[in-house]
Every structure is written in structure tokens, then in C-alpha cells.
């Protein structure tokens, strides 16, 4: 299942979420998006120094948790988790940008002090279509290994983000496991994560592997392995954020002026999937439409571009 992007649904759900949280959260309207724009918020887990002051685990809870825990450490590499998570997040950022996503990072340096509530709020305020939290795992057994994908457990408060988050977790897990050959530990619903409970946008957490497993720790610091791992994440995200299009293909002929870099999409099974190909500003001939999408002929065959809001010319 892909994440629906109906504007009407989004704004109603967003309003409900803001109303639900308004007892504590100041109402923060999401920033306006450009036509066809999709935003991914990437949160590299942890930071140089943990912050053991506490904050509420959810907007409606009196349970308090540390603002940012210290994270795990590589048993072989001695690398702190906060270094690994930023390395992976910066790779992921570049890959997502190559698919035409707008990428918002909660941090790009180590010496920050951003609590888990604040990380969630940054992604909410960015109007992210998906917030991806990047972490690595630790265990008392050095044998434990593999990738897991966490998503918000169902609750009244999480009902608007539950289904798309779970679907994204499934897709990202499948693609990261396939890209790396790592053990797949499955998708895991969590109700105890501050970063999830404060999120008003679909969100997942990638546990990339166990830094307490000597082999996996070394792999997670191998550039070639990390290239494949983050490529799997990016591919999974393109599936999770493929836009559902209900409309039938209708023959129509008009031309439109594309502004900026326009990502080419391919259509399959009722969804538009991003590719890494984009067109520079130019006039293109549309030969058919599906809703706000126009079909154009390209050097790799027919592809789709978002034409919502563009002036149609004969
Ligand atoms: Zn962590």
C-alpha cells in the first residue's frame, strides 16, 4: 500500500492531528509544498552528547523519557552510533535527492542538542511525507544481527499515520534486506518511542544492523555495504511514496511548459513511481492524462510528469 497524497485528506488529517495535540503543541501549519513536491525528513539518531533531561514520551502522557539517549558503540570499530547514523543519513540524503525528493535533515553535524520531541516536530513542521529515523542496534549477545524496521503502534492518536508508516516499514525492510543480504528481523510496532509519538507525519525507524555484532559492525563501516544499504532505503522509500492515481488513462493532447527539474515517473498498478531521470525546463507534448499527471514520450519510452497547476496549451 502506498501513501495517499490527496491534499484534502492530508489537510483534514493534519488539522485533526493538530487539534488532538493542541493541548501541548502550538499549532504549526505545514509549510506550503510546490506542485508535485514530496518531502522526506531524515533524522540521524543521537548526537555527540546524549541529553538526559527528560520530556514526555507522548503529547498526552505523563511518562518521561530522556531527551536523547547516548546510543550504542561499534564493538570492533569503536565508532559511536551517532557517527554511523549521520554517515548513513548523508548517503541517503544524496540518493533521495537524485529521485527528486526535497530532503530535510534534523541534523548534519554531531555537536547539536535536539531532543526526540524536537526532531519529530522539525519533520512535522517541514510537512514531510515521510520521516525516516536512522539508528543502529545493540544487544548483549554478539551474535545478534540483522535489520529491523520500527513503526508507530496503532493507537487513537496514531491512527492517521499508522497504516502508511507500517506500509513504508515493510517496503524499506524488503529493499534494504534485498540490497545487502542482511538478516531481516521484521517490522516492529512501537508505542514507547518519543520520536514516533510526537510525529504527525508517517514515520519509520531503520535499525540498520547490530554494532554489537563484530561482523555487522565492520560491514556498517564499509562504504560499499553502506552504499547498498542506503540504496535499498531509497528504493523502498520511492515505493512507499509512490503516488496513488485512481483516474483512468484518458487520451488528450496539449503541451505544457515544465519549470525547474521535473522528475519522470513510471506508472504501474495505479501508482506513479519516481525515477532518477528529470527534465530541465522545456515545453513537452502531453498525449494522455491520469488525473493531474501527463504522459509524455521520452527517449526511454512513455513516462509521466506531474502537470497539476500547469497551464495547458493547445
Ligand atoms: Zn539508536
Looking at residue 30, what is its pLDDT? Answer: 59
SS3 (DSSP) at 204: strand
Tell me how far the alpha carbon of residue 42 lies from the centroid of ligand 1, in angstroms.
Answer: 14
Of 30-44, 178-192, 201-215, the least confident:
30-44
DSSP H helix total and E strand total for the chain? 7, 15
Looking at residue 27, what is its pLDDT? Answer: 44
Looking at residue 32, what is its pLDDT? Answer: 76
Q: What is the DSSP letter of 59?
A: T
The neighbouring-strand residues paired with 148 are: 207
pLDDT over 70 at 12, yes or no: no
Burial-class residue 42 by CB neighbours within 10 Å (0-12, 13-18, 19+): buried
pLDDT over 50 at 14, yes or no: no
Tell me how far the alpha carbon of residue 162 lies from the centroid of ligand 1, in angstroms.
Answer: 21
Section 256-260 average pLDDT: 93
How far is the C-alpha of 53 from the C-alpha of 65, rounded, in Å?
A: 8
CA distances from 305 to 45, 161, 216, 264 (A): 34, 27, 40, 6
Which element (helix H / strand E) includes 218? helix 214-219
Closest CA to 186 of 172, 199, 203: 172
Domain covering 7-240 in this structure, CATH number: 3.40.630.40
Of 21-25, 184-188, 234-238, 308-312, the least confident:
21-25
SS3 (DSSP) at 68: strand
Looking at residue 5, what is its pLDDT? Answer: 45
Section 250-271 average pLDDT: 96
pLDDT tens-digit map of 23-41: 444 445 556 788 889 999 9
Looking at residue 204, what is its pLDDT? Answer: 98
Closest CA to 171 of 104, 237, 77: 237
Tell me how far the alpha carbon of residue 82 lies from the centroid of ligand 1, in angstroms.
Answer: 8
Rounded percentage of the chain residues whose pLDDT exceeds 90: 86
CA distances from 116 to 20, 47, 100, 206 (A): 19, 11, 27, 15
Residues 242-259 as b/e (b if ≥16 CB within 10 A, e otherwise) read bbebeeeeeeeebebebe
Cell 537524485 locates to: 98
Tell me how far the alpha carbon of residue 81 lies from the centroid of ligand 1, in angstroms.
Answer: 7
Tell me how far the alpha carbon of residue 104 lies from the centroid of ligand 1, in angstroms.
Answer: 19
Which element (helix H / strand E) includes 227? helix 223-240
How many CB atoms are located within 10 Å of the residue 153 CB?
17
Tell me how far the alpha carbon of residue 274 lies from the centroid of ligand 1, in angstroms.
Answer: 30
Tell me how far the alpha carbon of residue 158 lies from the centroid of ligand 1, in angstroms.
Answer: 22
Dihedrals φ, ψ of 193, to 5°? -100, 120
pLDDT tens-digit map of 97-128: 999 999 999 999 999 999 999 999 999 999 99
Rounded percentage of the chain residues whose pLDDT exceeds 70: 90
Tell me how far the alpha carbon of residue 63 lies from the centroid of ligand 1, in angstroms.
Answer: 20
Tell me how far the alpha carbon of residue 148 lies from the centroid of ligand 1, in angstroms.
Answer: 12
Looking at residue 211, what is its pLDDT? Answer: 98
Tell me how far the alpha carbon of residue 259 lies from the centroid of ligand 1, in angstroms.
Answer: 40
How far is the C-alpha of 203 from the C-alpha of 189, rounded, in Å?
A: 11
pLDDT over 80 at 16, yes or no: no
Looking at residue 88, what is its pLDDT? Answer: 98
pLDDT over 70 at 3, yes or no: no
Looking at residue 309, what is its pLDDT? Answer: 86
Tell me how far the alpha carbon of residue 62 lies from the centroid of ligand 1, in angstroms.
Answer: 23
pLDDT tens-digit map of 45-66: 999 999 999 999 999 899 999 9
User: In the chain, where are the structural domains located?
Assistant: 7-240, 250-306
Q: Where are the beta strands (DSSP E) in 97-249?
A: 102-105, 130-137, 147-152, 184-190, 203-210, 243-244
Looking at residue 35, what is its pLDDT? Answer: 83
How far is the C-alpha of 143 from the C-alpha of 53, rounded, in Å?
A: 33
Please report the DSSP string for 255-300 in residue order.
Answer: EEEE-S-EEEEEEETTEEEEEEEEE-SEEEEEEEEETTEEEEEEBT
Q: What is this structure's pTM?
A: 0.89
Tell me how far the alpha carbon of residue 119 lies from the centroid of ligand 1, in angstroms.
Answer: 14
Amino acid at each position: 500500500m502506498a501513501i495517499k497524497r490527496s491534499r484534502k485528506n492530508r489537510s483534514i488529517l493534519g488539522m485533526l492531528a493538530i487539534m488532538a495535540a493542541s493541548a501541548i503543541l502550538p499549532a504549526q501549519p505545514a509549510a506550503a509544498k510546490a506542485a508535485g513536491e514530496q518531502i522526506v525528513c531524515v533524522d540521524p539518531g543521537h548526537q555527540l552528547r546524549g541529553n538526559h533531561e527528560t520530556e514526555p514520551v507522548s503529547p498526552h502522557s505523563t511518562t518521561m523519557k530522556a531527551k536523547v539517549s547516548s546510543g550504542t558503540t561499534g564493538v570492533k570499530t569503536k565508532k559511536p552510533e551517532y557517527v554511523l547514523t549521520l554517515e548513513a543519513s548523508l548517503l541517503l540524503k544524496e540518493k533521495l535527492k537524485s529521485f527528486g525528493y526535497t530532503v530535510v535533515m534534523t541534523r548534519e553535524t554531531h555537536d547539536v542538542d535536539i531532543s526526540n520531541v524536537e526532531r519529530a516536530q522539525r519533520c512535522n513542521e517541514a510537512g514531510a511525507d515521510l520521516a525516516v529515523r536512522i539508528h543502529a542496534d545493540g544487544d548483549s549477545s554478539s551474535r545478534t544481527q540483522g535489520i529491523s524496521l520500527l513503526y508507530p503502534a496503532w493507537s487513537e492518536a496514531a491512527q492517521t499515520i499508522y497504516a502508511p508508516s507500517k506500509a513504508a516499514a515493510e517496503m524499506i525492510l524488503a529493499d534494504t534486506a534485498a540490497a545487502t543480504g542482511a538478516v531481516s528481523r521484521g517490522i516492529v510496532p512501537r508505542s514507547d518511542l518519543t520520536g514516533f509519538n510526537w510525529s504527525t507525519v508517517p514515520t519509520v525507524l531503520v535499525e540498520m544492523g547490530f554494532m554489537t555484532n563484530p561482523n555487522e559492525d565492520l560491514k556498517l563501516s564499509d562504504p560499499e555495504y553502506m552504499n547498498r544499504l542506503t540504496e535499498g532505503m531509497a528504493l523502498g522509500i520511492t515505493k512507499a511514496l509512490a503516488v496513488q492515481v485512481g483516474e483512468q488513462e484518458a487520451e488528450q493532447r496539449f503541451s505544457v511548459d515544465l519549470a525547474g527539474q521535473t522528475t519522470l515517473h513510471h506508472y504501474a498498478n495505479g501508482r506513479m513511481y519516481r525515477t532518477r531521470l528529470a527534465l530541465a525546463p522545456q515545453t513537452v507534448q502531453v498525449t494522455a492524462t491520469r488525473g493531474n499527471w501527463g504522459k509524455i514520450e521520452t527517449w526511454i519510452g512513455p513516462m509521466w510528469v506531474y502537470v497539476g497547476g500547469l497551464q495547458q496549451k493547445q
